[in-house]
Chains A and B, each alone.
Chain A
Amino acid sequence: MDQGTALSHRNPARMKLVCPAGTPPALQAAVDNGADDVYLGFKDETNARNFAGLNFDDRSLREGIDYAHRNGTQVLVALNTYPQPASWRKWQAAVDRAADLGVDAIIVADAGLLAYAAKTHPSLRLHLSVQGSATSHEAIAFYHEQFGIKRAVLPRVLSVEQAEKVVSRTPVEIEVFGFGSLSIMVEGRCALSSYATGESPNTHGGCSPAKAIRWQQSPQGLESRLGGVLIDRFGEEDHPGYPTLCRGRFVVNGDTYYPFEEPTSLNTLELLPQLQAMGVAAIKIDGRQRSPVYVETVTKVWREALDDCAREPQRFRVKPAWQEALAGISEGRQCTLGAYHRPWK
């Protein structure tokens, strides 16, 4: 039996395309260009992209849900930060609001909040957020047994082989990151941002918050600072990027370099046939903080790629035009397969 027959014999389901929406125009761009799911958040720290000018209030969410549902797209609400006692009621209320507004699922990281949602809204579909840091089928089984989660988003740390093992051993749908910024640290397990600024994804819904960033010219070049900490210095040849701590240039034993990662983007287009064959349920596009034009471009490319892949996985080829379109909207100049490709580690 050749590989093609083997793959078609397994008849993998078509993978869903999950696109980000930071604003109503971005939601419309995702829906219009063929997203199966859009994910978004409320305008507060209940979600991990809590940035000024982003996200949805009740009215814009109601309109967004209407628009999406009319066009056959599902709406997922991210409530993926970790509530603390002082603000617990706000998260609880956010779960209730999402359920009342008729969203198709909520994406949650905190076990306590999952317990509340499962008990209070038993028919509300629960997805485990990438911030839940579930990196094995056994960790996913914990959330499945405890709360009945239907889908889990895998942290961007597993190789393709490791991800395949997770998929094959869990009844829970698996969503993986396909494109966007490359998380270097395990999601839900990184406090670097709060170490420098007091606010992190877990506690305040944002990494490297804009209000903590300062740009200043110095004799050594343009400096970016986060919470007062020097993240990088740029010369005329450089392309200054957003000063996320793990993308900074620091000094170790006299060497100045990127100790964590050069500024690159994750792009897994070439892995699509493999991801589809192994039974991945959904591909996630990162970027709720990005513009409607970004969402439009990336949704269009990935819709076409996923359709090609579903139709003829054996003959799937990444089209140069796709790569060109994506390169124009990537952070940094290079793209990488990240942890999916083992040597990256």
Chain B
Amino acid sequence: MTTMKLALGPLLYYWPKETVFAFYRDAAGWPVDTVYLGETVCSRRRELKLADWIAIGRDLARAGKEVVLSTAELIESDADLRAMHAVAGNGEFRVEANDMAAVRTLAGKAPFVAGPFLNVYNAGTLRLLAGLGATRWVAPVELSRDGIAAVVAEAFDGIETEVFAYGRLPLAVSARCFTARYHNLTKDHCEFRCIDHPDGLALDTQDGLNFLVLNGVQTQSAGVQNLAPVLDEARAAGANVLRLSPQSRHMGEVSGRLRAAVTGSSREPPPASLPPACRRLRGYWRARPATSCRDRSRT
């Protein structure tokens, strides 16, 4: 049986340019196989231009990483479409399509990754995308272990399956910016406040449950998904690739511990908790409310 690969998902937060460059300089030394790059959340975030992402990609490729450029999760304007076309037509790296406009752009032209926002819930949809050139699909975060296994069973050999294994789950996207709203600003005049919140803006219920994280137009889970203790189940379900979603800290440690768990090189049991200090969150994996594993501790 081949070893599962580790993939560092696209950076979902907005960090200063130097921080981003430093993060990926470090990532070159982490035991991940694939690195997804690019701005997928908000077109107003322009600390890095596409050329910067490509420069980072070249450095990572030299370090032996497979590099994938990701397209935006939500396309609204002509500028968004142009940005998507620029990523899709980069001519150098494989592309993760996160919208059907991107799928159409890539179809028949270049192999692509079918991103987690394409809503692949069944083998019919997966076969269609594979026919258009998808070589890997990333399961939607809502799809359970059994759901993923059933799609894989009905699909065919040869397409890779990636699952969201570590990080805050991206749960929703909006035309509205909730970070701007928190700061009493409009989206068009947001002053790029996301940059003040390197791991998003924590949202609690009125009785103190750490519930969600506001990340501009995106809403995430507050709890951190961690499939490390169920890697055997992930393998059995057909997962070939584990996605680690970047957080501002601990990613080197997280990737190292997951790598050890995947290769079985560590004598320790798979880490039941990974930093930031949080209890496990894998409700969706068991087809249950994801919040059923409560995490009341601050990260």
A residues apposed to B, CB below 8 Å: 82-86, 88, 109-113, 115-116, 132-136, 138-139, 141-143, 145-146, 156-159, 162, 165, 184-186, 188-192, 194-198, 200, 202-203, 220, 227-233, 246, 249-253, 255-256, 259-261, 339, 342-345
Contact = CB atoms under 8 A, between A and B. Distances in A.
Given A82-B121, A194-B290, A230-B209, A259 B182 contact: yes
Contact of A252 (B117, B169, B214, B221): B214
A99 B95 CA distance: 38
B239 to A, nearest CB: 16
B289 A198 contact: yes
Interface in B70-94: 73-78, 80-81
Interface in B243-299: 283-284, 287-291
Given A189-B73, A198-B287, A252-B182, A136 B121 contact: no
B171 A135 contact: no
Given A111-B119, A133-B119, 20 more contacts: A83-B121, A84-B122, A84-B143, A85-B123, A88-B123, A115-B128, A132-B100, A138-B75, A139-B104, A141-B101, A162-B76, A162-B77, A185-B219, A195-B169, A195-B284, A227-B289, A228-B291, A230-B206, A252-B214, A342-B188
Contacts of B123: 85, 88, 112
A258 B73 CA distance: 24
A158 B77 CA distance: 9
A136 B101 contact: yes
Interface string B2-18: 00000000000000000
Contact of A195 (B127, B187, B291): B291
A250 B173 contact: no
A214 to B, nearest CB: 13
A232 B211 CA distance: 13
20 contacts: A85-B123, A85-B150, A86-B147, A138-B101, A138-B104, A139-B101, A139-B104, A156-B175, A158-B175, A184-B176, A185-B172, A186-B175, A189-B117, A194-B142, A195-B289, A228-B291, A233-B206, A250-B203, A252-B214, A339-B176
Given A195-B171, A343-B186, A261 B214 contact: no
B143 A260 contact: no
A254 to B, nearest CB: 10
Given A113-B124, A139-B99, A165 B78 contact: yes
Contact of A138 (B105, B129, B141): B105
B205 A251 contact: yes
B19 interface: no
B236 interface: no
A142 B103 contact: yes
Contact of B176 (A142, A194, A195, A345): A345
A184 B174 contact: yes
A231 B201 CA distance: 18
B132 to A, nearest CB: 9
A83 B122 CA distance: 6
Given A82-B122, A162-B76, A195 B203 contact: no
Nearest to A221: B206
Given A135-B75, A142-B104, A195-B290, A230 B117 contact: no
B203 A345 contact: no
A251 B212 CA distance: 10
Query: Which secondary structure characterizes the binding site on chain B?
Result: mixed
Contacts, number: 213
Nearest to A248: B205
A84 B211 contact: no
B163 interface: no
A135 B74 contact: yes
A131 to B, nearest CB: 8
Given A202-B121, A203-B142, A194 B284 contact: yes
A196 B182 contact: no
B109 interface: no
B204 interface: yes
A185 B119 contact: no
Nearest to B289: A198
Contacts of B287: 198
A136 B83 CA distance: 13
A345 B177 contact: yes
Interface string B201-242: 111111101011010000101000000000000000000000
Top 4 A-B residue pairs of the complex, sorted by shortest distance between their CB atoms: A112-B124, A85-B150, A157-B175, A138-B101
Nearest to A338: B175
A138 to B, nearest CB: 4
Contacts of B78: 165
Contact of B291 (A156, A229, A344): A229
A342 B125 CA distance: 34
A345 B74 contact: no
Contact of B174 (A143, A145, A185, A220): A185
B154 interface: yes
Interface string B146-167: 1100110110000000000000
Contacts of A345: 175-177, 186-188
